[in-house]
Amino acid sequence: MIFLGDLVDRGPDTPGLLEYFDFHRPRFRAVMGNHELKHINHFEKGAPLALSQKLVKRLMTKDEYTYAVWLMRSFCRYIDLGPALLVHGFFAPGVPLERQEDKTLLGVLSKERELEKKYQPRPWFEFYDGPKPLIVGHKVYNGDAPLIWNQKVFGLDTGCVFGGRLTGLILPEWELVSVPAERNYWAANLDRLAEQKAKTILKDLKAEHEKVVAGLSLAHGYFGLPPKEQAKLYAKRVAAHPLRKLLNDLRKGKEINLSDVLRCVPKSMLLGDSAEDE
Ligand SMILES: [Mn+2]
């Protein structure tokens, strides 16, 4: 079985998948995707990781991550199966295989933009002129159905991690197999991350509340004031806080829970740089 790259990062259990892959080597093989490349560049050169990679790295010990990167480094730039050529990302038209750039084959975003610009408004694959059929992953070209362009280019990414389908191609029969995803795995990862962040924010909020009350009672004899004065003083003190509504609720003695935080806190604060992703 050959994986088309980007095995890592978006799914529910990247370390488990790598273990599974490793166990079945060399019967299992893979071409390298831009996500694996990012981990390798991070490990070797300290290149920055996008959110999905940070999440995955966080799940592993240092030794496990070292091993994972070692495993990813064993993935090929391309695999020539005879009846078909397999790459993760793209194949620049008019360029022989030996002169294809790694970044193109691996689907690095800058190369994707270059190809878009060069061939717009047509997609790059319509200009594919390689000697044999090309099988790619990387992009969901055609929704839940694989891309099949003139029996020359086959795009098998059907968005499994986003709740679409997982698609494979059996060679040499050229028989497509496709199963629906059980759920949107990436959205579930983001939910889990948001919940972790919300927990921290809730803890910080409670600490901030205690601090504000302590400060007010020292400077203004807060506890001796009538409730209305307390409210005014407190509201003024937290006026610049982005979550002042929740702080004022805490002051009123309301029970604040995770769902309140998830509702009130802006998504950008919960997920940070989730826009990603090269
Ligand atoms: Mn990719």
In a domain, 276, yes or no: no
For residue 26, is the peptide bond before it cis, meaning its omega torsion is within 30 degrees of 0? Answer: yes
- Number of independent structural domains in the chain: 2
Range of the domain at 221: 186-271
- Domain limit, last residue, from 182, 214, 247: 182
Residues 36 and 76 in one domain: yes
The candidate with the shortest Cα–Cα distance to 237, out of 206, 211, 269, is 211
- Å from CA of 34 to ligand 1 middle: 5
Query: Residues 142, 196: one domain?
Result: no
What is the predicted pLDDT for the residue at 220?
A: 87
CA 33–ligand 1 middle distance (angstroms): 5
CA of 251 to the centre of ligand 1 (A): 48
- Inside any domain, residue 277: no
The rounded Å distance from CA 182 to ligand 1 centre is: 21
85 CA → ligand 1 middle, Å: 17
The residues, ordered by sequence, that sit 6+ positions from 166 with a Cβ below 8 Å of its Cβ are: 158, 160, 178, 179, 181
Which of 26, 25, 47 lies closest to 35 in space, CA to CA?
A: 47
d(CA 202, ligand 1 centre) in Å: 35
Please measure the distance between the N-terminal and C-terminal CA atoms of the chain and give it in whole angstroms: 26
Query: Do 100 and 208 fall into the same domain?
Result: no
Q: Kindly give the distance from the C-alpha atom of residue 31 to the centroid of ligand 1, in angstroms, as a whole number.
A: 11
| CATH code: domain of residue 172 | 3.60.21.10
Residues 176 and 260 in one domain: no
CA dihedral over 234, 237, 243, 245, signed as positive or negative: positive
Q: How far apart are CA 28 and CA 151, in angstroms?
A: 25
**Residues 41, 122 within the same domain:** yes
* pLDDT of res. 278: 46
Considering the domain architecture, whether residues 123 and 139 belong to the same structural domain is answered as yes
Low-confidence ranges of the chain (pLDDT < 50): 274-275, 278
Q: Which pLDDT score, from 0 to 100, does residue 276 have? A: 53
Q: What tens digit of pLDDT does each residue of 229-248 get?
A: 999 999 999 999 999 999 99
pLDDT at 275: 45
**CA of 195 relative to ligand 1 center, distance in Å:** 27
Say how many Å lie between the CA of residue 112 and the centre of ligand 1: 10
Residues 99 and 163 in one domain: yes
Q: If you measure from the C-alpha of residue 109 to the centroid of ligand 1, how many angstroms do you get, rounded to a whole number? A: 9
Supply the pTM of this predicted model: 0.85
Q: Is residue 252 part of a domain?
A: yes
Phi, psi of 23 (to 5 degrees): -60, -35
Distance 266 CA to ligand 1 centre (A): 28
Q: Say if 193 falls within a structural domain.
A: yes
Query: Do 209 and 221 sit in the same domain of this protein?
Result: yes
Task: Please identify, among 182, 212, 240, the residue that sits at the C-terminal boundary of a domain.
Answer: 182
Token reading at 219: 């400077």
Please give the distance, rounded to the nearest whole angstrom, from the Cα atom of residue 139 to the centre of ligand 1: 7
**What's the gap in Å between 179 CA and the centre of ligand 1?**
20
201 in the same domain as 225: yes
Rounded distance from Cα 210 to ligand 1 centre (Å): 47
The answer as to whether 8 is a domain residue is yes
- Contact (Cβ atoms closer than 8 angstroms) between residue 87 and residue 33: no
The set of long-range contacts for 107-115, using a CB threshold of 8 Å and a minimum separation of 24, is 107/5, 107/6, 107/33, 107/34, 107/137, 107/138, 107/139, 108/34, 108/37, 108/278, 109/34, 109/277, 109/278, 110/278, 115/90
How far does residue 175's CA lie from ligand 1's centre (Å)?
A: 23
Q: Are residues 18 and 111 in the same domain?
A: yes
Q: Are residues 205 and 124 in the same domain?
A: no
